[in-house]
Amino acid sequence: MDYIDSPEHREWLSAEGLRLLSFAKAAQATDGFAGLDAQGKLPASAIADTLITARMTHSFALAHIQGVPGCLSLVEHGVQALRGPLHDARHGGWFAHPHGRGDNGKAAYLHAFVALAASSAVVAGAAGAQGLLVDAIRVIEARFWSEDEGALRESFSTDWLQPEAYRGANSNMHATEAFLALADVTGDTCWLERALCIVERIIQGHAAANDYRVVEHFDAHWQPLPEYNRDNPADHFRPYGTTPGHAFEWSRLALHLEAALRSARLHTPDWLLASAQGLFASACQYAWGVEGAAGIVYTLDWNNQPVVRERLHWVHAEACASAAALLRRTGEPQYERWYRCFWAFIDTHFIDRAAGSWHHELDPANQPAATIWAGKPDLYHAYQAVLLPTLPLAPSLATALARNVTKR
C-alpha cells in the first residue's frame, strides 16, 4: 500500500488527471459534447453524442468537486443538453444524438450513463441536475428495470413499443455502477439491492461457472448466446467472445458493491470478494502478454485464444483501477505488482505526450492505431483510473470526492 498511497504517486495521478481534463474541454459542442480527433480537435462534421455528453458531464462533475476551476460551466452545459436537445420530449428517455437524428431506439447502456451523469452533477451542485436525476430514475424504473429478472432489459424502439429480444452484460455492468451512485445520492438502498441482483445473475450465476470469464450476451430469457457477433468480433459494445476489460471492470464493481452493502449494513455475500479475485486472475492469465507482446488484448474466444488482438486504452485503465481496488481490499502484494505493471504499460504506450490525452487503441505490436476507435473521444475511463486509487471503495466516486474535499 505504500506505493499507491505515496505522495509522489498521488501527485503523478493528479497531474495526469489535469492533463486529461485540459485536452477534453475542447469536446464541447452546440448540443452537448462530441468526439475529438487524435489531435484534440472537433471534426467539422462533429455532432453531439449522448453517450459522450453523459460521460463528459460525469467526468467534469468529478473535476469540479475536486476544485478544478472552469469545470462547473461544462457540467451545466452537459446537463442542459441532456435536458434539452438530447432528451425525447415526446416519448421520454434519451436519443443517441440531438433531436433523434439517425435514431436507433432507446438503449439501457446509454440511459445508465445519463443516470450516472445526473447523480454526479447533483453532487457537484450543477443547475438543473436534480431534475435530470428525477427524470433518469423515472425512466430506468418505468422502462428498463425488471424486478422479475433482477436486471435491466436491453433496448426498445423510440416509442418504447418494441423491446429487443436480447439481454446484455455490458449495459447491466454500467447500470451497477450507476446504481451505486444513485444509492449514495438518493439515500435509497433499493439501488444497492438491485445492483446485487445484477451481479448475482451475471457474475455469480454465469461467470463463476465459466472460469470467471464474463458471458456477455443472452437471449430474452437469460440463456447465453456464446456465438453472438462471431461475424462482427470487434463490435464497440457487443464484441464476440469474452472481453477481459469487462472482467476487470466487474471485479472492481464487485468490491465497490461489497463495501457499499457493508456500509449500509445490508447482507453482504462472501462471494463478492471471491468473484473480484477470480475475475481479475482470469483476465490477467488469459489476456495479458499473449503471443509474446505486452498489453491486454480486446477479446478472447471460448478457448481463451485472442480474437481481436488490438489493445484498447479503456481496458488498461480498468485493469489499473481493478488492481488498485483489490490492493486496497486485500493488501496482497501481487496486486501492487500488477498495478505498477499496468501503469508502466500505459505510461510507455498509451499516454500521448505530443498531441495530448491517451491513444485510444494500439495494434498488436503496440503502435497507435484506429481500426476500432478513431480519435480520442473518451475521458471517462482514463480519468476515473487516476481518481479511483486515491479513494475508499465506498461511497461512489462523486460522493467520495465530496467527502474527501470536506475533510481537508
What positions carry a catalytic annotation? 246, 381
Gap between the Cα atoms of 242 and 326, Å rounded = 22
Sequence-distant (≥ 6) Cβ neighbours of residue 22 within 8 angstroms = 356
Gap between the Cα atoms of 111 and 127, Å rounded = 20
Distances (CA, A) of 399 to 30, 198, 395, 396: 29, 22, 6, 6
Residues in the chain, how many? 408
Gap between the Cα atoms of 347 and 350, Å rounded = 6
Tell me which DSSP letter residue 145 carries: E
Instruction: Please provide residue 368's backbone torsions phi and psi, each rounded to the nearest 5 degrees.
Output: -55, 135
Gap between the Cα atoms of 270 and 258, Å rounded = 9
Residue 342's H or E segment, with its range, is helix 333-345
CA neighbours within 13 Å on the CB side: how many for 325?
33
The closest of 224, 336, 202 to 279, measured between CA atoms, is 202
SS (H, E, C) 104-124: CCEEHHHHHHHHHHHHHHHHH
All cell numbers assigned to 239: 464484441
Are the C-beta atoms of residues 394 and 260 closer than 8 Å to each other?
yes
- DSSP-assigned beta bridge partners for residue 311: 362
The closest of 401, 378, 313, 400 to 33, measured between CA atoms, is 378
The distance from CA 146 to its chain's CA centroid, rounded to whole angstroms, is 22
Q: Within 10 Å of residue 254's Cβ, how many Cβ atoms?
A: 31
